[in-house]
Amino acid sequence: MQNETLPAVERVVAALTDLILGELTPGAQLPSEAALAATYDVSRLTVREAVRVLSGRGLLDLARGRRATVREPDGSSFGDFLAAAMRHDAKGMLDLIEVRQALEIQSATLCAKRITRAGAAAIESALDGMRTAAAEMRGSGDRAAAEERFHQFDVGYHEALALASGNRMLGHLLEAMAAPLRDSFHLSLRGHELRGHTPEDTIAAHERIFERIQAGDSRGAAQAMRSHLREAVRDVSAALNARLPPARRSGARSRARRA
């Protein structure tokens, strides 16, 4: 126990972490900074820094004038990890896609076992959105906007699946992956066209998966998802190869931490 040298902030962080994970439930409020400072016999500043650490870890929500509240866990802290892991690194994106593959297949599998009416409706709705957007992409309107919407519904489809899988953690993880994957989606579309595919192909693939899910065929759903993602990987690769300087630049990191 050489805890004497442990910095004061770390001590408070550890204590508060135990408190949050152990006794408090999401939505509960921490004591005031002053009270905590007295409790742990440190200055208010030290408490403040500890609380900031916890907010960075996604365990606390902070707001001016209000006490710190215990946060409902979501995947946002996971998103930071992903963003960091992929910076300056094409390999990171491929790794990410492989992870996504695993989770999406699991998502489809579980979904087929547990699908409910409401879940099916949500998926169907996303699917409809994709159909509409695809039609508009062929039309004369604003093509870029339609494309954007297509991606939107594509992501929405996968999120609806994760939600309907009944596994909240899976949902959080896939949601967190959505942001970094946006880039990949754009690449994917580009590669898609490069390889002579159309948005309709994507829709068809999604329909196949959904069909298996509604039939309660978990193995078939997994298989359909697997081949869908295999295509996606090929598209991304094609797009990457087509423009070797993979057009870095994404900017706008502003994660909204306070809803």
Partner DNA sequence: CCACCGAAACCTATCAGATAAGTTTATTCG
Partner DNA sequence: CGAATAAACTTATCTGATAGGTTTCGGTGG
Residue 60, beta-bridge partner list: 70
Residue number with CB closer to its own copies (196 or 256): 256
CB of residue 220 vs DNA: minimum separation in angstroms? Answer: 50
CB of residue 243 vs its own copies: minimum separation in angstroms? Answer: 20
Binding residue for DNA, selected from 44, 131, 186, 195, defined by CB under 7 A: 44
Handedness of CA 10, 60, 107, 194 (dihedral sign): negative
Q: Which does 42 bind (CB under 5 to 8 A by kind): DNA, its own copies, none?
A: DNA
Identify the CA nearest to 17 among candidates 60, 77, 80. 60
Q: Which does 209 bind (CB under 5 to 8 A by kind): DNA, its own copies, none?
A: none
Compute the C-alpha angle 74/80/83, nearest 5°: 130
How big is the site for DNA, counted in residues (CB under 7 A)? 25
CB of residue 11 vs DNA: minimum separation in angstroms? Answer: 7
Cβ count near 59 (within 10 Å): 21
* 122 CB-near residues (< 8 Å, 6+ apart): 160, 163, 164
CB of residue 65 vs its own copies: minimum separation in angstroms? Answer: 12
Sequence-ordered alpha helix ranges (H) in 60-116: 76-86, 90-114
Handedness of CA 225, 149, 254, 250 (dihedral sign): positive
Asked whether 188 and 176 are in contact (CB, 8 A), the reply is no
Residue 29, beta-bridge partner list: 69
Report the alpha-carbon distance of residue 155 to residue 180 in Å, rounded. 12
Where on the chain is the footprint of its own copies (CB under 8 A)? 7, 9-10, 14, 17-18, 20-22, 25, 45, 48-50, 52-59, 64, 71, 73-75, 77-78, 80-85, 87-88, 92, 95-96, 98-99, 101-103, 105-106, 110, 167-170, 172-173, 251, 253-255, 257
With H, G, I as helix, E, B as strand and everything else as coil, classify residue 183: helix
Residue number with CB closer to its own copies (138 or 257): 257
Asked whether 131 and 166 are in contact (CB, 8 A), the reply is no
Binding to DNA in span 58-97, by CB under 7 A: 62-68
Region for 224 from its dihedrals, namely left if φ exceeds 0, alpha if ψ lies in -120 to 50, beta otherwise: alpha
Does the footprint of DNA cover residue 45 (CB under 7 A)? yes
Q: Which does 118 bind (CB under 5 to 8 A by kind): DNA, its own copies, none?
A: none
Binding residue for DNA, selected from 16, 48, 104, 225, defined by CB under 7 A: 48
Residue number with CB closer to DNA (8 or 15): 8
Query: Among 32-40, 70-78, 105-113, 185-193, which window interacts with DNA (CB under 7 A)?
Result: 32-40
CB of residue 89 vs its own copies: minimum separation in angstroms? Answer: 10
List residues near DNA by CB under 7 A.
Answer: 5, 7-10, 30, 32-35, 41-46, 48-49, 62-68
